[in-house]
Amino acid sequence: MTSTINSLLGEISGARIDCGLRSSMCGGELLARARSLAHRLIGTCRDGRPVAVALDQGLENCVADLALLLSGLPAVPLPSFFTPQQRDHATQAAGASVILTASPNDPDGISVHPIATRDAFIPEETAKISFTSGSTGTPKGICLSVGHLLAVAQSVVDRIGKGNAGRHLALLPPGILLENVAGFYATLLAGGTYVALPQAEVGLAHPFLPDFAKMVEVIAGEHVSSVILVPEYLAGIVTVLEAADVRLPHLTIVAVGGAHVPPAMIDRALAAGLPVRQGYGLTECGSVVTLEDSGESARGSVGRPFDHNSITIAPDGEVIVHGPTFLGTVGAPRAPTPCATGDIGRIDNQGRLWIEGRKSNRIITSHGRNVSPEWVESVLLGEDAIVQAMVTGEGQSSLSALIVSGNPDTDIEAAIAAANSRLPAYAHVQSWRRVAPFSPANGQLTANGRLQRDAIIRTHFHGEDEMPFFERLEKETLTARNCLAATPQLMAGLTGDISRETYIAYLTQAYHHVRHTVPLLKETLARVGDRPELVSALEEYIAEETGHEAWILGDISEAGGDAQLAAASAPNAATQAMIDHAYDVVRNGNPVGFFGMVYVLEGTSVALATQGASAVARKLDLPPQAFTYLSSHGSLDQEHMKGLATLLDGFDDPADQQAVIDMANRMFDLFGGLFASIPMGMLDAAA
């Protein structure tokens, strides 16, 4: 192990770490900091047990990673998107003795907290225990050696070329093995600069609600030459580039992996000037196994295997990886044998791997035909009208699909017909229905964008009595939510294509409805009766929402508007209708229905804050002080939505559930009316 680490340390001197305004240092300084922390850890963790790491992207995370390699203590990175339960499971399962967290008052900015766990059996030579959420909510710990990880990193450098080492930006959340190995280690080995900024500063304050406009802004501003993306991030960046008609000329490598990328998305990325290279890998193989060569002409393959491993295809089509593999899982060591991936694929006559689906997902129709759902889904996703798709049909005579579209007016029937024209008859989709988006937040996507098929099936094919109420609410408000999303004024706001006058007009209407938020909360509180969980939630909302109308008036002033005039104005008729309906439900109907309004307003404000605020600020050159209301509600309402989901899932009275659904559907309609009441002439003036 020592010789392997020394090979990395010998290359570090030529590398740099760039953490923006906070710090920037050469490889020698980084190594000195890492050695200092390693000494602390060895003195603290005398039992040699694993060390959990809960740090944001930045200098501290880089120092901790190298320090753990130097100390010989197994690292347990905890991804930022893990739930508290998943973090606790990972630390307990691995038997971690301490956890590293950020603390400016401690040496190296890192605090070492002892934690109480039982000792666990860890395979010999384990350097990193990577907990992957996989297809279930309970992570499993994959044990990997430092020799294996650095062999993968070196293969990345060999494939890309050391001469291409430039400025690599860490976009994937901390704790993700792909970024750690192919980003951090590979950049150090190549002598490049690793740009490690906090997630919030690169548009990822919430990893599952990315601000892609901010992401593009950082890539451009930092002169980034390489990034590693999951397909969702690629799609978001491409959409921003297309909408703004901008390019990122400094990028020379955009590596994409983690899940299937539709060919149509690759074509769009190339048209937007992104030098995309697809790769394939899995945690058990140290992250990356294959990567496309530069200028690869066969779009859709994931490239050739690295030199340190090889690939064969089993008789049933399963991809088998030969070469260094994982040491086992926590408590279960494993002999060095080839790794059966569970993926179905083929190798072409150029040695390139093509992934065609998952072995466990294969559908066998009643006609006895084997169909990979990923294959059909990729063809469906080639249609612009279809944003997400999941295909089913086990034991059936034909295939069905759940479809997510970006616009309620799109012709899904025509899109499916077009897709079917490119598929053999036995793989045609004969029936479909539109559903709410699949996301990690609702448990229907993994962190890297893979469909959680079992969870989706439970949601959409089991009876409503088995469905959590929050999922049912999303399902039964889908049409109304899509109608709101299609409002031209809202769409323009999300892309920043509005004038200063339009932004001020929006803030004015926001002021008129937001100033009623606390009074409505208080009236609801007075009417919900003896229900402690509702009383507690409402009291918390009241405390947090008090004074927000003053923030809006301040934003109007900073944007160049007249705050006093806005406050003295009368609300638009559509805004007044929304306010009146809310009071009517609370006073004369079921007051619990008010939470349907909370669901609509907070969900919409998250989208406006995470996507719209930075786009509008950049387009209109307005200061951050003009976005106090939106910016605060981005992070605040993300947390509120999590709490709201938990609260609503506790509603077991059908009358309460229906009141929330009815209010949400009506509020989507009325809120759409509020946006539609902003004159389109203002938008035309901005174009």
- What is the CB-side half-sphere exposure of residue 425 using CA atoms within 13 A? 2
For 528-575, the pLDDT digits (tens) are 988 888 998 899 889 888 988 999 999 999 999 999 999 999 999 999
Tokens of 89: 């499971």
Most confident region among 145-154, 434-443, 498-507, 677-686 by mean pLDDT: 145-154
Among 221-225, 272-276, 646-650, the least confident range: 646-650
Among 9-18, 231-240, 326-335, the least confident range: 9-18
- Other CB atoms within a 10 A radius of the CB of residue 270 amount to 13
3-state secondary structure of 157: helix
Q: Which residues contact 304 (CB under 8 A, 6 or more apart)?
A: 290, 291, 293, 350, 351, 352, 353
Q: How far is CA 145 from CA 5, 34, 41, 87, 246, in A?
A: 11, 19, 19, 22, 42
Tokens of 420: 């079917």
In this predicted structure, the answer to whether residue 326 has a pLDDT above a threshold of 90 is yes
Please name the residue that has the structure tokens 């089993």: 314
How confident is residue 2, by pLDDT bands cut at 50, 70 and 90? low
Q: What is the CA radius of gyration of the chain?
A: 26
- Residue 683: predicted pLDDT: 40
In this predicted structure, the answer to whether residue 457 has a pLDDT above a threshold of 80 is yes
Mean pLDDT of the chain: 86
Q: Which residues contact 367 (CB under 8 A, 6 or more apart)?
A: 397, 426
Helix (H) or strand (E) holding 355: strand 353-358
Q: How far from chain centre, in Å, is Cα 288?
A: 20
Angle ∠(565,569,573) on CA atoms, nearest 5: 150
In this predicted structure, the answer to whether residue 407 has a pLDDT above a threshold of 80 is no
Q: Report strand pairing: 332-333 vs 328-329.
A: antiparallel
Please name the residue that has the structure tokens 């901790």: 64
Phi, psi of 275 (to 5 degrees): -80, 75
In this predicted structure, the answer to whether residue 127 has a pLDDT above a threshold of 90 is yes
Q: What percent of the chain has pLDDT over 70?
A: 90
- Dihedral-angle region of residue 36 (phi above 0 means left; psi in -120 to 50 means alpha; beta otherwise): alpha
How confident is residue 640, by pLDDT bands cut at 50, 70 and 90? low
Q: Give the Cα separation of 66 and 54 in Å (integer).
A: 15
In this predicted structure, the answer to whether residue 465 has a pLDDT above a threshold of 60 is no
Average pLDDT of the residues in 465-483: 77
- Residue 79: predicted pLDDT: 86
Q: How far from chain centre, in Å, is Cα 388?
A: 15
For 642-652, the pLDDT digits (tens) are 778 888 888 88
Average pLDDT of the residues in 186-201: 94
